[in-house]
Amino acid sequence: MSEDLSSKYILQTAGFDARFPNTNQTRHCFQNYTDYFKCIAAKGEDFAPCKQFKRAYNSLCPNEWIAKWDDQRENGNFPASLEP
Amino acid sequence: MLQNFSIFKTIFNDAPQPWQLGFQDSAAPGFTGIVELHNTIFFYLVVISVGVFWVLGSIIYYYNSKKSPIVHKYLNHGTLIELIWTITPALILIAIAFPSFRLLYLLDEVISPTITIKVVGHQWYWSYEYSDYVNESGESIEFDSYMLPESDLELGQFRLLDVDNKVIVPVDTHIRLIVTGADVIHSWAVPSLGIKIDAVPGRLNQTSILAERAGTFYGQCSEICGVWHGFMPIAVEAVPVQDYLAWIDSN
Amino acid sequence: MNLELLRLNLQFNPYHLVPQSPWPILVSFSLLAYTQSGVMFMHGYPYGGALLTLGFILTTFGMVLWFRDIIKEATFEGAHTTQVQNGLVIGFVLFIVSEAFAFLSIFWAFFHSALSPAIEIGGCWPPQGITALNPFAIPLLNTILLLSSGAFVTYGHHALLQGNRKGAISGTLITVVLAIIFTALQGYEYAQAPFTIADSVFGSAFFCSTGLHGLHVIIGTLFILVGLFRIINYHFTTKHHLGYEASILYWHFVDVVWLFLFIAIYYWGSN
């Protein structure tokens, strides 16, 4: 049972990013969110390395923010360019 | 070995006590450091207080108008004593500043966390998100943590401190906290873990916790946030890693 | 100086007591009404606009009559002796310093938002979706206008110092004309701007800073205009024209603030 769990859940999260060394991590979250959508716009949704950005922004951004940004992307009023 | 006998059992103080004057027991290296810094500064405080009150008391005692009727009209400065009472405080401040800054920057450091937990302050409850493990449908662990009303308390639970859903964290694991607010500024604080960090809307604040022992640690919102500011407590339960994984699995 | 010596036959000190005046209390209440009705107007209370107009008229009325009384004391009673002038200079310089700090706080707000743009505006400056104005169109022309008006006011000042009445009048008049053209161009640019004060922190910072500056240009123009009126009416001598010098100092201050605005907000802040 316990062996299963250790292999089922890998204890791993977004690492330290030297661009965001401060207590304020707002841009760390935002950067990974925009990078993910830039990445899949360039390489397609199945491109494995893009998943890294998605994992990072899921770990760092409050779910409410992600939902808001997803809505904004759908409505075309997301406040940053997602062109690769 | 001694721990097995009930009279030698250590009972940690992880919640405030009535008329408590000292600290709660530390459960994290950060808080151990804070207590140590407090003790260091207290040493200087005692030395300075004794010195100042001794001088003050002896002046009052010896130089009142009855005991010392002669007015020293021209004794209005002394370069040596002025140098001493200017330079000595400066040196003391440096001696306090060094360990203080050392601790400050140590507490700021979040190098390689294993888990990220998002903490969101609401009027008037906390919600927590564990999004490192997202299932197939993209859902992550997310729950609200409300204070238990007095009527629901069971024997042994703390009034105004216990909550319905505690934050579960594994022991001896570096955990990154991302703290933000959903409406107004709150502040997430747990004394035993040495954490107090503002939850500001539109901003993500980062800090880290490392629980050194299992236990339940209590804290309260520490930034006045509205009428029920005092009724949105924080309860963190540190459990062994296997239990943490089981908890993750059950959610 | 003769007037001062004359005065010393009547009193042994260089100062004068200001006679009882209704203006301080009137202006106090007018300003209270002005600011209160300003809040009422902005929050859409009934009669807010009418009260705001009334507050503006009352404040302006009080100021005009107050300054008229000061001119009476200075020009017609000779109350502004060298020492009194010295106090007025210190007061005016401190006023300019306080104005400088007011602008500093607005520049601070601008740089706070522009140097580290928030994620809500796309993490860039100008914010995503905002088209900034071209600094080398009207703003550059305005820079030239304002700088040359500063040169003309210096010409007018030196003409006044040399007792050249024609030069003083023409120099000051050209300054005023250039200032009015500046204000008109600024108003045209406001009307043409592709963003409003409500368009993100960019619009707020832009219109608050340039708007406060524009207000100062208008006040400075009126100030110099009063100086022109007083030159024409023989109020000034080659030695005693403090009101005129204060208006020149004010004008240069407005000029310098514009240079900072042009460099920081129009040029640096637009790309």
pLDDT tens over chain C, length 271 residues? 566 777 777 788 888 888 899 999 999 999 999 999 999 999 999 999 999 999 999 999 999 999 999 999 999 888 899 999 999 999 999 999 999 999 999 999 999 999 999 999 988 899 988 999 999 999 999 999 999 999 999 999 999 999 999 999 999 999 999 999 999 999 999 999 999 999 999 999 999 999 999 999 999 999 999 999 999 999 999 999 999 999 999 999 999 999 999 999 999 998 7
Interface of C with A in 129-188 (CB under 8 A): 129
Q: pLDDT exceeding 90 applies to what percent of chain A?
A: 50
Please state the domain count of chain A.
1
Domain topology for B29-108: Helix Hairpins (1.10.287)
Q: Which residues of A touch B176 (CB under 8 A)?
A: 13
Residues in B whose CB is inside 8 Å of some CB of A read: 108, 110-116, 118, 120, 129, 131-134, 140, 142, 170, 173, 176, 178, 180, 182, 197, 202-207, 241-242, 245-246, 248-249
Contacts of C among chains (3+ CB pairs under 8 A): A
SS3 per-residue string spanning chain C: CHHHHHHHHHCCCCCCCCCCCCHHHHHHHHHHHHHHHHHHHHCCCCCHHHHHHHHHHHHHHHHHHHHHHHHHHHHHCCCCCHHHHHHHHHHHHHHHHHHHHHHHHHHHHHHHHHHCCCHHHCCCCCCCCCCCCCCCCHHHHHHHHHHHHHHHHHHHHHHHHCCCHHHHHHHHHHHHHHHHHHHHHHHHHHHHCCCCCCCHHHHHHHHHHHHHHHHHHHHHHHHHHHHHHHHHCCCCCCCCCHHHHHHHHHHHHHHHHHHHHHHHHHHHHHC
**3-state DSSP helix/strand/coil percent for chain B, to nearest 5?**
35, 25, 40
Q: Is A31 inside any structural domain?
A: yes
For residue B132, the model assigns a pLDDT of 84
For residue A1, the model assigns a pLDDT of 46
Q: Which residues of C touch A81 (CB under 8 A)?
A: 122, 128
Q: How many residues does chain A have?
A: 84
Range of the domain at A56: 24-78
Domains, chain C, in order of start with CATH, read: 1-79 (1.10.287.70), 103-270 (1.20.120.80)
Q: What is the CATH number of the domain that holds A31?
A: 1.10.10.140
Q: Which of A19, A25, A27, A57 to mutate to test the interface with C (most CBs of C within 10 A)?
A: A27
B112, B202, B203: residue with CB nearest A16: B112
Q: What is the mean pLDDT of residues B167-191?
A: 95
Whether A9 and chain B come into contact, CB under 8 Å, resolves to yes
pLDDT digits (tens, 9 = 90+) for C212-236: 999 999 999 999 999 999 999 999 9
Q: Is A8 inside any structural domain?
A: no
Rg of chain A taking only CA atoms, in angstroms? 15
Whether C112 and chain A come into contact, CB under 8 Å, resolves to no
Q: Which residues of A touch C128 (CB under 8 A)?
A: 79-81
Q: Is A46 inside any structural domain?
A: yes
Q: Which residues of B touch A12 (CB under 8 A)?
A: 114, 132
Nearest CA in chain B to A7: B245
A7, pLDDT greater than 80? no
Q: Is A18 inside any structural domain?
A: no
B93, pLDDT greater than 80? yes
What's the ipTM?
A: 0.87
A25, pLDDT greater than 70? yes
Q: Is A1 inside any structural domain?
A: no
Nearest CA in chain A to B182: A64
Q: Where is average pLDDT lowest: B84-88, B142-146, C128-132, C152-156?
A: C128-132
Is 2.60.40.420 the CATH number for B115-250? yes
pLDDT digits (tens, 9 = 90+) for B10-69: 778 888 888 989 999 999 999 999 999 999 999 999 999 999 999 999 999 988 888 888
Whether A39 and chain B come into contact, CB under 8 Å, resolves to no
B116, B202, B241: residue with CB nearest A14: B116
Where, residue-wise, is CATH 1.10.287.90 in chain B? 29-108
Q: Is the four-CA dihedral C235, C237, C240, C244 of positive or negative sign?
A: positive
